Every structure is written in C-alpha cells, then in structure tokens.
Amino acid sequence: MAETTLYRRRRSCRDFTDEPVPREMILELLEAARWSPSGGNLQPWRFVVVHDAGRRRQLVGACLGQGFVAEAPAVIVACALPEVSALHYGERGRSLYFFYDVTAATENMLLRATELGLGVCWVGAFDEVAVARVLGLEASWRPLVVVPVGWAREQPREGSRQPLERLVVWLDEDRTGAP
C-alpha cells in the first residue's frame, strides 16, 4: 500500500500555529462530515464550531487540561442526537447507533482536513457535562468528539500500528485463524 494513501497521511496534531483557518475550509470539513454514512440516513449529529479564544480556553478545563485544544484557532465539537436514532431504532439507536454515526462523521472530517493540509486531533478524553456547559448545548445534544483544527507547527510523526496478523482472524476455506 502506498505511503501517500490518505488514511496513512492522517496524523493527530497537538501543536498549532496562530494562523486562522479560513471559514471556507471549516465548511469543507463540515461538508465531509455531513456526507458520512448514518444508520437509516438519520444523520443524528450537530457540529459546534468554536473560534472564540475564551471559550476555547474553557474547553481546556473540560478536556481534562489538554492545553492544545485552546491553541488551535478553531475547535469543532461533534455532538450526537441519541433520540433521533431512537425514533427509528429504539433503545439500540438511543444507546449505540448514534455513536457509530457521529464517529463516522468525525473520521470523514479528519480525512478531509488531511487532504486540505490542516492539523487536527481526535479528542475523546473530556468531561461531557462540562463541554456541554461551556458550549451552552441543548439537553438533547451529547458531545462525543472535540476536534481542534489549525495549521500544524510541524508535521506530526507517524504513529505505530499493530501488524495485521495480530488483528485479523480469517474464517474461510483458504485461511483459518483462531480468535
């Protein structure tokens, strides 16, 4: 597989320059998220874009002290609407499907950011109630992912991955494996 493949180029960036990200580029990320798959095409997501420096600083506290969240010139918070999923899928939608949908949308956003040369990071370690309070979210909106967006100060290094042999079990006639 080519080293230049989009998913291989995606990196988590935690060191941003001060240069603002044009609104058109933020819209590109949101458009990529909007076109991601969702169960029943329900699209149970909302995105909050934070440019305000004061609110970004408040998000640092909600994100367990991860200071790079405030250093990015923009932060996108991907929120779920569990009750939208529940309307069609009942309890499984309310407890699970919305999560799949918002995380797929977030990955689309991260991949588009990579194409555009932006630095982003998937932040999942945060106090959900505190993030909701900082953003003034409606009670039906559940923040799932915080994504700082900006220009990387330097190219983040490639992370390591486990070998496929350790991750995959083949259950067909040609190859077998034991879980």
Place 157 in a pLDDT band, splitting at 50, 70 and 90.
confident
CA nearest to 3, candidates 162, 103, 11: 11
Residue 108 pLDDT greater than 70, yes or no: yes
Mean pLDDT of 142-170: 90
What DSSP letter does each residue of 114-174 carry, written as one string? HHHT-EE--B--S-HHHHHHHHT--TT-EEEEEEEEE-BSSPPPPPP---HHHH---BSSS
User: What percentage of residues in the chain have a pLDDT greater than 70?
Assistant: 94
Distance of CA 141 to the CA centre of its chain: 16
Give the mean pLDDT of 122-146.
98
Q: Write out the two tokens for 13.
A: 């960036």
Nearest to 24 by CA among 49, 59, 54, 57: 49
What does the pLDDT read at residue 174? 62
Segment 68-78 mean pLDDT: 98
pLDDT exceeds cutoff 80 at 2: no
